[in-house]
């Protein structure tokens, strides 16, 4: 590397070390800003920086380990995509499932959240490896990535998103456990990911429901399972948002979730049941359309009625804007 690059690498190393001291406060904004500036520089090597932070997670101190994880997460969220790309290429990221700091009273509680947090960061990295882009940074809206994805890719991507979303909700901190600046910093980064990840998840579900009545039986079955799992997460999701409100996040930044009508799930189940009765020997959808007049009770007749209801109501169920704070 050129002397300037070496100097920059050295200052980045120092910033990484200063961001992960054993001082019981969150990583300093200046050190994080220096690291972002470094990895956003053209062709900067991120491997050495990742090595330093990875080494810090092997400390026995909960403060050092938690701050190292927060620094990694901050760089994933705010830094150049090459950073998460590099992490995703590593054989193993964080192996902290047995981490426990017994040296201080607070260590017991914080160690629990370190184990959960590292699991989430592993999942975030694995998601990138599986779908080759950061789902939290993709274009949103009616012409966005999740709303325009084809059925096969959509089913695969939603399954991956659900796993990452579960790992995020598994952090599961109550307001009375967010007792210091370090865990608060981790929660704020998780909240930022939550907004963007749920927006992608939500838009994927909208796309899935829009395609549902045109799918073959096996795809309908898989889609119904994905949709049911989406509904099952709503309680935990609401709890997470309640904690966000209680720890001082602005209410304007917290999405409002409408209640999902039961008859939508019923309509989806009925459509799948009608396909199963036919043993999936349905002709292509264009041919089904031609057959409808001569076969009044054909499942697609019910499907088209359900589709009309769906198109009239689905945007009211889930659509909301999330801020890019």
Structure confidence by residue, pLDDT tens digits, 2-43: 444 455 568 899 999 999 999 999 999 999 999 999 999 867
Cα–Cα distance between 67 and 16 in angstroms, integer?
A: 10
**Which DSSP string do the residues of 79-94 spell out, in sequence order?**
S-HHHHHHHHHSS---
Residue 290 reports pLDDT greater than 50: no
From CA 218, how far away is CA 238, in angstroms rounded?
31
pLDDT at residue 214 greater than cutoff 60? yes
pLDDT at 135 over 70: yes
Helix (H) or strand (E) holding 138: none
More confident residue, 18 or 314: 18
The residue among 1, 9, 100 whose CA lies nearest residue 59 is 100
The reported pLDDT for the residue numbered 239 is 94
Rg (CA), the chain: 23
Cβ-proximal residues to 88 (8 Å cutoff; 6+ apart), any chain? 125, 126, 128, 129
In this prediction, residue 287 has a pLDDT band, given cuts at 50, 70 and 90, of very low
List all residues 6 or more positions away from 180 whose beta carbon is below 8 Å from its beta carbon: 24, 25, 106
Q: Is the pLDDT of residue 256 over 50?
A: yes
**What pTM was estimated for this model as a whole?**
0.85
C-alpha to C-alpha distance for 134 and 117, rounded to whole angstroms: 18
Q: What pLDDT shows up at residue 307?
A: 56
High-pLDDT (> 70) share of the chain, %: 82
Distances (CA, A) of 313 to 210, 269, 309: 11, 17, 6
The pLDDT > 90 percentage for the chain reads 72
pLDDT over 60 at 317, yes or no? no
CATH topology (fold) of 1-131: 1.25.40
Mean pLDDT of 103-123: 97
User: Looking at the predicted structure, is the pLDDT value of residue 322 above 90?
Assistant: no
Using the CB atoms, write b or e for 276-287: b if 16+ within 10 Å: eeeeeebeeeee
How many CB atoms lie under 10 A from the CB of residue 81?
A: 13
CA distances (Å), origin 322, targets 71, 157, 253: 24, 20, 7
Task: Give CA–CA dist 66/245, Å, rounded.
Answer: 23
CB < 8 Å & 24+ apart, contacts of 151-155? 151/211, 151/215, 151/219, 154/204, 154/207, 154/208, 154/211, 155/208, 155/219, 155/222, 155/223, 155/226
Residues 6+ apart with CB under 8 A from 301: 292
- Confidence at residue 255, expressed as pLDDT on a 0 to 100 scale: 86
**pLDDT tens per residue, range 152-199:** 999 999 999 999 999 999 999 999 999 999 999 999 999 999 999 999
Residue 211's nearest CA partner among 258, 149, 301 is: 149
pLDDT higher than threshold 70 for residue 279: no
What is the overall mean pLDDT for the chain? 86
Element (H, E) at 163: helix 151-169
- How far apart are the C-alpha atoms of 87 and 129, rounded to whole Å? 9
**Does the domain spanning 133-325 belong to CATH 1.10.357.10?**
no
Q: How confident is the model at residue 79 (pLDDT cuts 50, 70, 90)?
A: very high
- List, for residues 92-106, the tens digit of each pLDDT value: 899 999 999 999 999
Position 228 scores a pLDDT of 95
Q: What is the mean pLDDT of residues 275-282?
A: 71
pLDDT over threshold 60, residue 231: yes
91 token code pair: 């054989």
* pLDDT band with cut points at 50, 70 and 90 for residue 250: very high
pLDDT value at residue 26: 97
Per-residue pLDDT at 141: 87
Cβ(305)–Cβ(281) below 8 Å: no
Domain ranges within the chain, ordered by starting residue: 1-131, 133-325
Using DSSP, state whether 1 is helix, strand or coil. coil
- CA 199 to CA 197: how far, in whole Å? 5
pLDDT at residue 291, as a whole number: 36
């Amino acid at each position: 590397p050129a002397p300037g690059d070496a100097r920059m690498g050295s200052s980045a190393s120092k910033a990484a070390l200063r961001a992960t001291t054993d001082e019981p406060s969150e990583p300093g904004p200046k050190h994080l800003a220096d690291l972002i500036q470094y990895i956003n520089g053209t062709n900067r090597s991120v491997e050495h920086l990742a090595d330093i932070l990875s080494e810090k997670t092997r400390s026995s101190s909960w403060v050092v380990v938690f701050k190292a994880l927060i620094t990694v997460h901050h760089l994933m969220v705010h830094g150049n995509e090459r950073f998460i790309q590099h992490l995703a290429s590593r054989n193993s990221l964080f192996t902290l499932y047995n981490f426990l700091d017994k040296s201080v009273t607070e260590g017991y509680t914080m160690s629990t959240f370190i184990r959960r947090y590292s699991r989430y960061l592993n999942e975030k990295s694995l998601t990138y490896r599986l779908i080759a882009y950061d789902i939290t940074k993709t274009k949103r809206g009616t012409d966005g990535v999740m709303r325009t994805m084809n059925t096969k890719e959509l089913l695969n991507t939603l399954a991956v998103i659900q796993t990452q979303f579960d790992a995020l909700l598994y952090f599961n901190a109550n307001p009375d456990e967010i007792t210091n600046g370090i865990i608060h910093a981790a929660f704020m980064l998780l909240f930022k990911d939550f907004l963007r990840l749920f927006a992608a998840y939500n838009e994927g579900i909208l796309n899935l429901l829009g395609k549902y009545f045109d799918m073959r039986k096996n795809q309908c079955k898989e889609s119904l399972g994905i949709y049911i799992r989406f509904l099952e997460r709503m309680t935990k999701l609401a709890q997470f948002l309640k904690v966000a409100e209680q720890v001082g996040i602005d209410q304007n930044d917290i999405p409002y979730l409408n209640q999902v009508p039961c008859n939508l799930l019923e309509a989806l189940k009925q459509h799948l049941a009608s396909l199963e009765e036919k043993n999936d020997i349905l002709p292509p959808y264009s041919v089904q359309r031609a057959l409808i007049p001569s076969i009044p009770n054909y499942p697609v007749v019910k499907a088209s009625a359900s589709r009309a209801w769906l198109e009239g109501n689905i945007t009211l169920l889930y659509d909301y804007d999330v801020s890019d704070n």
